[in-house]
Structure 1
Amino acid sequence: MDEAGIADIFAAFGPVRCRRLFGGLGLYADGVMFGLAVDGRIFLKTDPGFAADLAAAGAEAFSYDRKDGRRVSLSYWSLPEAALDDGEVAAALAHRALVIARAAAAGSPRRPRLR
């Protein structure tokens, strides 16, 4: 999925900025990363309640395999198929993910930048 397709899906949400991230794209609104686009799929930042709601809508957890063979799951879940065709649903889900991402960013100390 490219940046134009992502902007189209989230048009009702507002501007989404994309940055390259580990072979995919990080999705940002107001300077906060609220989602990922990887292998043609969009994943949103979740907390346990939002993850359960997305799972009930048929979404899947984002995970990847490490070089050592372990599978890693992150707190990102796929955007349900229905949201890809309904901009208002996509916007509502993105807004919820942004609220969660902001709370997570506020609760975690910033790491020092490496030079």
Structure 2
Amino acid sequence: MAFSPDYLEFVLEQLEGFGPITHKKMFGGVGFYKDGLMFGGLMNGILHFKVDDQTRPEFIRRGMEPFAHGKTPKKLPTYYQVPVEIIEDRDELTAWAEKAYAAALTGKKK
């Protein structure tokens, strides 16, 4: 299993302020959805959020990496690791989740 059920529960509790979300297992991890739109995921024990051109620089500034998968890791620059200090702060995590959802909405429109 590429994620801990306890960690999944913790992340879901931290995201309670973001409103109703759903999650489903995918590719050994979990995808997070709001209104049917994926805005984040928990893969290999790491929380990732959707980014766009406006939000990506903050992730990079904090030294976060894009999601990578496969035996020869292929980077997916539309999802980035969420910093631990953000995950531990419910209010901050909610704010970042809102930005990730906005990025997902923007991506859907393109």
Same fold (TM over 0.5): yes
Structural RMSD (CA): 1.5
Deviations 1:72-101 (A, max 9, x none): 111100111111211010000000000110
Q: Structure 1 residue 17 and structure 2 residue 22: aligned? A: yes
Could you say which residue in structure 2 is the equivalent of 1:99? 102
Q: Which SS does the other structure have where 2:80 is aligned? A: strand
| Equivalent of 1:73 in 59, 72, 75 | 75
Moved over 6 A (4+): none
Query: After the TM superposition, which residues 12-51 of structure 1 pair with which residues of structure 2 at under 5 Å, given as runs?
Result: 12-51=17-56
Unaligned 5+ runs, structure 2: none
| Per-residue deviation, residues 11-52 of structure 1 (Å, max 9, x unmatched) | 221222111111101110111100110121110001133111
CA distance in 2 between partners of 1:95 and 1:83 (Å): 13
1:89 to 80, 88, 92: 92
Task: Single out whichever of 2-11 and 80-89 deviates more from structure 2.
Answer: 2-11
SS of residue in 1 equivalent to 2:63: coil
Give the TM-score normalised by structure 2: 0.84
- Unmatched runs of 5 consecutive residues or more in structure 1: 108-115
SS in 2 for 1:49: coil
Pairing of 1:54-69 with structure 2 (within 5 A) = 54-66=59-71, 69=72
Amino acid aligned to 1:73: K
What is the aligned-residue identity percentage? 26
Determine if contact 2:11/2:87 at 8 Å carries over to the other structure.
no
For the residue of structure 1 that corresponds to 2:31, the secondary structure is strand
